[in-house]
Structure 1
Amino acid sequence: MPFLVRLRFGPPSSPAVTGTWDSEATAERKFRGFIGRYGSRADVRIEELATFCGQEGVLSPA
């Protein structure tokens, strides 16, 4: 199951940067790193997601 981390600056319709990893631990590390780097900005949305059967589900929003 692929794990994704999505970083978006601005509203939900703005472009996003998404990384995909097979390891949940790696995705979690990247997610926490993005929170540390960008989490204090009001215009940032960071999400950790998992993909199962073609559907994305949010594991951790920040």
Structure 2
Amino acid sequence: MVNAVRDYTQNRIAPLLEPRLDTNPTFTPEVIPTFSSKEVFENFHKFCTRDLSRRFSSFLN
């Protein structure tokens, strides 16, 4: 799954953001596939943790 996120970033996102580098030469972390995969999985972990805690507390009630 990590490779899927990296491939998507490299093949779909980076080409869209690269023209911005010509007009605005600042660092754009979203162009880096590793950054994108890290962000996706950190947010996924937060979502799963929050969702599971809600389900568990509703199960106890």
Tell me the TM-score normalised to structure 2 length.
Answer: 0.32
Kindly name which structure, 1 or 2, has the bigger radius of gyration based on alpha carbons. Answer: 2
Q: Greater share of helix residues, 1 or 2?
A: 2
